[in-house]
Structure 1
Amino acid sequence: MAPRRKEKYKLPVPLPEGKVLDDMDGNQWTLGKMIGSGGFGLIYLAFSTNKPNKDARHVIKVEYQENGPLFSELKFYQRAAKREYIKKWIEQRKLDYLGVPIFYGFGLTNFKGRSYRFMVMERLGIDLQQKLSDQKGTFQKSTVLQLGIRVLDILEYIHENEYVHGDIKAANLLLGYTNPDRVYLADYGLCYRYCPNGNHKQYQENPRKGHNGTIEFTSLDAHKGVAPSRRSDVEILGYCMLRWLCGKLPWDANLEDPLAVQTAKTNLLDELPQSVLSWASGSSCCELAQFLVCVHNLAYEEKPDYQKLKKILNPNGVPLGLLEFSSKAQSVHVCTPTLPKAVSHSRPVDPSLLPCGS
């Protein structure tokens, strides 16, 4: 009998440890212990039956077949993030790595009369939210800027493949399991194909869909119910970096009121660069002020200048080293600004006119 609609998005009944799953390519995977759950699915450690290893290097995500997020994530990997595509991109762009998790396979399995969809991925380490908690809510400025550059590399890749992520945040950024000095953007279950077959979605506000996403970081377009675009992703990244550096955002006290958050973000962006410079110790946020100026000047369908954004975050072109997380949290003086009402600039601010302090 078909499941009732109200059960559609329930977490699935856990599969037993040791169950063997056959993917669509004929590979077999043995389920290890369950290590997480979220959204509509479960996550297990996994072992290839062909190459047994006591230390699991893979995970398997499972959900009921009729659920949507894992299906959407699977489509993203099949269309845009196959291993050979990523390898070619890394070679063409001369990158040391690209922080998109490796996809190994997928399939269907049955348990207790229900059909499950599963997807096999590389195992990753802890997320940045845990790192933030360990460091009293902030990262060192050099770490924040390097994280921004690494995420820009990822965003450029997925944007060129017709997708936007839409939910960039510390909880979705994971360090590598075998290489914890690298960062990966995970969770593509809610990603959006903004430009199917080269046709960009049109700008259209829809109040019924307003305020989607993680309220602290979501873009102004999302607050207005506009479908996400490339500028949404880089705007979200700007808010994330501001939070990682300062430990909080100007609208944190109003998270229960989406309209107040939207207004505060509008004020912040319309009063750039001073709004950001005054938020935390003046020039200590200069790069982020420049970054957000560039983002705010983007048109809805415009392609971000990723190289320019990365240069803002690394003006001296210093080669990126290993990601480092200090055991001592830095102290950043955060002001409580009284932001004026939103006022649109008569002309865009040129970020090159914002010299950064040392």
Structure 2
Amino acid sequence: MPPKAKAAGKGRAPAKRKLAEEFPPGEVLTDTGKKAWKLGAPIGQGGFGLIYLGDENSAKPVGSDARYVIKVEPSDNGPLFSELKFYMRAAKPELIQNWIKSHKLKNLGVPKYWGSGLHEKEGKRYRFMVIDRLGTDLQKKFEECGKTFPRKLVLQLGLRLLDILEYIHDHEYVHADIKASNLMLSHSDPNQVYLVDYGLAYRYSPDGVHKEYKEDPKRCHDGTIEFTSIDAHKGASPCRRSDLEILCYCMVQWLCGRLPWEDKLQDPLYVRDSKMRCQENISQFMTKCFSSQDKPGEKGFMEELKSLGYQDKPPYEKLRSILQAGLKTIQARDDGKMEFTPVNAAVSLPAQVSTQIPLLHQAQHWLLYVIIPPICSPQWASHGDHEVAIVKMEAKMERGPGR
């Protein structure tokens, strides 16, 4: 009997943990730096803790316009403690601001860490952490858009995530659980996206020394099953290439609506083997994703990821330039505006068709123009073969699948 899949987004977790009790608004918590914070209304639950609106302590109650959220959970629970280690090492405001300045970025989608500590009440101890308040998550946006994002948006999200991943990788961590529900828009600016939930974040290179590749059967399939990396499926600790592999799966899903192994997520061995077959036979993966025999572009992109070794540093700038070139080919630019609009082509077609043909068309177009020219066959653009391939592909699109 195959092992049971882990619940989406929860990853590795002991079977029994205490749930946090709800505190009344106005409860004051004091962090390790002796700064006092006041709790507002609870706005959500994460794992085994509660999330409250929060602000610096004052005579005023915490309003709905609060700038911070405060995560609280029983002190002997593990998730917040694990996440806290990442925030304390890599998300202090000065670190993020220095990176933004040195890399000439407008923003970096890592929530800032403002404080943490322990709080006692009625003989019980609680751990808390204060971070930036954020808005809605991308999973809700994805569903509102009919479970497909426009090409421009997919490219922009890819660019933002490359910025984020380069930063956290440079600070010795990998995220290991990238997905739409862990991406949130800024509360004050809906054009800024943040990567959240570092409960599975792993310090892959403590003090600059990369961890060795080692498979542990007890850690097999950690993460969110449909997106988790092959390394994680095998029980190896995540590394930088793992994050990029997860990002690739996310982008394919955002563009096409689903991944080919989503029909059997309760069978992690099937999902693992499907991803391994995808890596071994990328053309077959293309057929399953896009229902087309013409699939050169994504193959080139997957080969680029496949070439990375466990300890290799990813070519962030090269990957970034690929996405930027993709924006140009669809006559768009990274204007900083996140436009969450349904794909128009899917609206007027019958339901049975609209989930296949329009998504197929945009996927083929995106792959041809974005991925293959920069990395699979750079000489195409100068010799005309790429343009010929595009003409043939677009003619096939007009005829429809299988014609």
Tell me whether the two structures share a fold, i.e. TM-score over 0.5: yes
Residue deviations 1:238-263 (CA, integer Å, cap 9, x gap) = 00011111110010111111111111
Structure-2 change in CA distance of 1:118 and 1:288 (3 Å):
farther
Pairing 1:49–2:57 present: yes
SS of the aligned residue for 2:114 comes to: strand
Distance 2:103 2:293 in 1: 32
Matched, 1:249 2:256: no
2:376 corresponds in structure 1 to 351
Match of 2:281 in 1: 271
SS in 2 for 1:299: coil
Superposed CA deviations along residues 65-123 of structure 1, whole A, max 9, x for unmatched, are 11122112221121112111111111111111000011111111112211001011111
Alignment of 1:15 with 2:23, yes or no, is: yes
Q: Matched residue of 1:115: which SS?
A: strand
Partner of 2:220: 210
In 1, Cα distance between equivalents of 2:284 and 2:152: 22
**Quick one: which amino acid aligns to residue 146 of structure 1?**
Q
Say if 2:190 is the partner of 1:188.
Answer: no
Distance 2:120 2:15 in 1: 17
Corresponding residue for 1:38? 46
Instruction: Please state if 1:322 is matched with 2:332.
Output: no
Amino acid at match of 2:208: G
Q: Distance in 2 between matches of 1:68 and 1:202?
A: 24
Who is 1:345 aligned against?
none
Q: Which residues of 2 match residues 1-358 of structure 1 at below 5 A?
A: 9-50=17-58, 54=63, 55-272=65-282, 275-276=285-286, 279-280=289-290, 288-315=298-325, 318-328=333-343, 331=346, 333=357, 351-352=376-377, 357=390
Q: Deviations over 1:287-339 (max 9, x none)?
A: 6544322111111100000111112222166444211111556545367xxxx
* Rounded Cα–Cα distance in structure 2 between residues aligned with 1:233 and 1:35: 29
Deviations 1:36-62 (A, max 9, x none): 112121101112225956311110001
Amino acid across the alignment from 1:34: P
- Alpha-carbon contact 1:238-1:288 (below 8 Å) kept: no
Q: CA deviation at 1:285?
A: 7.8
Asked if the contact 1:20/1:30 (under 8 Å) is kept, the reply is: yes
Tell me which amino acid in the other structure corresponds to 1:82.
Answer: K
Letter paired with 2:110:
V
The answer as to whether partners of 2:222 and 2:228 remain within 8 angstroms in 1 is yes
SS at match of 1:300: coil
Separation of aligned partners in 2, 1:260 and 1:330: 33
| Structure of larger gyration radius | 2
The TM-score normalised by the length of structure 2 is 0.78
What is the rounded CA distance, in whole Å, between the counterparts of 2:96 and 2:296 in structure 1?
33
Letter in 2 for 1:91: K
Answer yes or no: is the 8 Å Cα contact 1:8–1:66 preserved in 2. no
Distance 1:31 1:66 in 2: 21
Identity %: 50
Q: 5+ residue gaps in structure 2?
A: 1-13, 347-355, 361-374, 381-385, 395-403
Unaligned runs of 5+ in 1: 1-5, 336-349
Q: Tell me the C-alpha RMSD between the 2 structures.
A: 2.6
Is the 8 Å Cα contact of residues 43 and 61 (structure 1) preserved in structure 2?
yes
**Which structure's residues are more often helix, by fraction?**
2
Counterpart of 1:47 in structure 2: which amino acid? D
Q: Deviations over 1:114-150 (max 9, x none)?
A: 1001011111000001101111111111111110110
SS of 2:248's equivalent in the other structure is: helix
* Count of aligned pairs between the two proteins: 340
CA distance in 1, matches of 2:236, 2:210: 13
Q: Deviations over 1:205-231 (max 9, x none)?
A: 222321111000000011110110000
Which has the larger displacement, 238-247 or 64-73?
64-73
Give the letter for the 1:20 counterpart: V
- The 1:309–1:286 alpha-carbon spacing in structure 2 relative to 1, beyond 3 Å, is farther
SS at match of 1:78: helix
Instruction: Indicate conservation of the 8 Å contact 1:72/1:189, yes or no.
Output: yes
Residues 85 and 285 (structure 1), Cα distance of their counterparts in 2 relative to 1, 3 Å cut: farther
How far apart in 1 are the matches of 2:230 and 2:85?
Answer: 27
